[in-house]
Structures are given as structure tokens and as C-alpha cells.
């Protein structure tokens, strides 16, 4: 399959020519296939947010290219605007961007800006609300009367309603309770499967990315330092720890087991852990 998104030698420097000059992205190159679920990890200030804002044309590269379907999004104005809609971006704490009188109107804001017909907007609003688990009767409520978790859902629905082919989320579960986190993550995955969309998610929860994603990108000091399956990335657990990043709790436990002299493979999911442990006992498991 042809890659939907390609990033070529992307660099970005903030405040060029001032004492605050700061290189936020340094020669980042990767490509994304349709339908992938990608996790982006990296400590604060590693360039994740800057990278995300390049992918839908909010920031202009200092050098390098972003290609959507093989076409440079900065090569013509129309393509830049299209990129805004084809690549949906959910910022951190998106509930702070709500502004309309009703939940319905707020979710409809993006599709309206796309210039869609009233029926199409209506369909998308209801579908997006359904995707994130906002009940139909809540659509006429003021978004400011909702709880924090509900606001977050509405804000995510506002982006989903634009039906982006690539959905990018910056820590969509930050500050939510465990049940809310799980729910939102499942909703995002459902959107990806049903719409055959690509999802890129920035997260600090290694447990979440290990479980959900098929590919992990690790950012450190403005560079893309690792890019591969969770297995490949978590095999470099020691390097991740040195970068100041966390590793999944299971991986950590198994690293310790290995240090204690047990012959276990590095793991990052519960499934693997069970397999690895049963293998250890020669398949004779009564768990």
C-alpha cells in the first residue's frame, strides 16, 4: 500500500535569529501507512507537539517536506487547507477549546467550516457523538454543564466529526479516571477500525501504547530516535530508561526477573507474559 503520509527531513527552529532560538525538530523522516495505530512517546520538550502541528499544516517546516498522498502540503494553498481537514488534530486538554451554546453546535463547528451541507453535518455530528459515547439527549445541553470527562469526549467528537483520514491526539486521556481512559481509548480504536483511519497518539502511558498500538515512535531531543513495533522498541528498555522515559510495568517486572536469573523473554503485553511464564514451567500451567 502506498503511504498516506510522508515526512521527509523535517526540521523546525523556533524564534530564528533571536536569543530564544531553539531547534524543536531535527531531520525527522518517516512514513505512515493507512490504518496504522501509532504511538508517539518522548519526554516533555522532545518535539512531539511540534511534530504533530506540522502534520496538519499549523506550523510551517523550517526545512523538509510533509507529503499527503505524495503531494507536498505547502506546495499550494488549497492543499494546505485540505491538510487541515484530512489530518485531524486533538490538542492536549481539548475541552478548553469548547465555546458553543450546545454540544451539538460545538461538534458541528469543524464540519461547518468544511462547508458541508446541513444533512451531512447532522449525520457527522450524530455519528461522532456516538463514536465517543455522548448520548443523543446530551447534544442539546450546554457543553459547560458537562463533567470534565464528558467535555473531553465532546471536544474529541468535534475533531472526529471532520472525519479525518489521519487522527492525531495529544495525550487524549491526561487527567481522566481509569474507566474514562479506557473508554476513550477504545472509542478511538473503534473509529480507526470503522473508518479505516490512521491514528497517531502521543501518550505518556507506556501501558496504553504497548497494548493498543502496532508501531511506536520515540522522540528525544528533537530527533526521532526509534521507530518500530512495540516489541522492537521495548527491547531497548534500557535505552528508554536512560532517555528518562518509562517502560510498561510488565516489561519492568520481566527485566527484574531476568536479572534474578530466570530465563524469560522481554515482554510488554499480558498475553506475552503469560506465554513466557508458561513456557518457563514447561507448559504445565494451572493458572
Strand pairing of 166-170 and 71-72? unpaired
Q: Which is nearer to another protein, 156 or 216 (CB)?
A: 156
Name the minimum Å distance from CB 225 to another protein: 26
Nearer to another protein by Cβ, of 7 and 267: the residue is 7
Give the shortest CB-71-to-another protein separation in angstroms. 19
Q: Show Cβ contacts of residue 21 under 8 Å, excluding neighbours closer than 6 positions.
A: 13, 14, 15
Please name the residues in contact with 66: beta carbons below 8 A apart, sequence gap of 6 or more: 5, 6, 7, 8, 10, 54, 55, 57, 72, 73, 74, 83
Question: For the chain, what's the residue count?
Answer: 287
Binding footprint of another protein on the chain (CB under 8 A): 15, 18-19, 53, 56, 58, 81, 84-85, 88-89, 91, 94, 96-99, 109-110, 113-114, 144, 158-159, 162
**∠ at Cα 51 (48, 52), nearest 5°?**
90
Q: Which is nearer to another protein, 40 or 273 (CB)?
A: 40
Least spacing, CB of residue 44 vs another protein, in Å: 15
Q: How far is the CB of 43 from another protein (least distance, A)?
A: 20
How is 47-64 classified by DSSP, letter by letter? SHHHHHHHHTTSS--SEE
Would you say 4 or 162 has its CB closer to another protein?
162
Minimum gap (Å) between residue 82 Cβ and another protein: 11
Closer to another protein by Cβ: residue 74 or 109 = 109
Q: Give 197's contacts (C-beta < 8 A, 6+ positions apart).
A: 34, 35, 164, 165, 166, 167, 191
Amino acid at each position: 500500500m502506498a503511504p498516506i503520509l510522508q515526512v521527509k527531513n523535517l526540521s523546525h527552529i523556533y524564534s530564528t535569529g533571536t536569543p530564544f532560538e531553539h531547534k524543536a525538530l531535527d531531520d525527522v523522516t518517516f512514513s505512515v501507512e493507512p490504518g496504522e495505530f501509532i504511538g508517539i512517546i518522548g519526554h516533555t520538550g522532545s518535539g512531539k507537539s511540534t511534530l504533530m502541528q506540522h502534520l496538519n499544516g499549523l506550523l510551517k517546516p523550517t526545512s523538509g517536506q510533509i507529503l499527503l498522498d505524495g503531494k507536498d502540503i505547502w506546495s499550494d494553498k488549497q492543499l494546505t487547507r485540505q491538510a487541515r481537514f484530512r489530518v485531524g488534530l486533538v490538542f492536549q486538554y481539548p475541552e478548553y477549546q469548547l465555546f458553543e451554546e450546545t454540544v451539538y453546535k460545538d461538534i458541528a463547528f469543524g464540519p461547518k467550516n468544511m462547508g458541508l451541507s446541513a444533512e451531512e453535518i447532522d449525520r457527522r455530528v450524530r455519528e461522532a457523538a456516538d463514536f465517543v459515547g455522548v448520548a443523543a439527549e446530551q447534544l442539546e445541553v450546554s457543553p459547560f454543564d458537562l463533567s470534565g470527562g464528558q467535555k473531553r469526549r465532546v471536544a474529541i467528537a468535534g475533531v472526529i466529526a471532520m472525519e479525518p483520514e489521519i487522527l492525531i491526539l495529544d495525550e487524549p486521556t491526561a487527567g481522566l479516571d481509569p474507566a474514562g481512559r479506557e473508554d476513550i481509548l477504545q472509542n478511538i480504536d473503534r473509529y480507526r477500525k470503522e473508518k479505516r483511519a490512521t491514528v497517531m497518539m502521543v501518550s505518556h502511558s507506556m501501558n496504553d501504547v504497548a497494548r493498543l498500538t502496532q508501531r511506536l515512535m520515540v522522540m528525544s531531543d528533537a530527533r526521532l530516535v526509534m521507530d518500530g513495533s512495540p516489541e522492537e522498541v521495548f527491547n531497548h528498555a534500557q535505552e528508554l530508561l536512560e532517555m528518562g522515559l518509562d517502560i510498561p510495568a510488565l516489561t519492568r517486572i520481566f527485566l527484574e526477573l531476568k536479572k534474578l536469573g530466570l530465563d524469560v523473554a522481554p515482554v510488554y503485553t499480558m498475553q506475552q507474559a503469560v506465554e513466557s511464564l508458561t513456557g518457563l514451567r514447561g507448559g504445565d500451567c494451572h493458572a
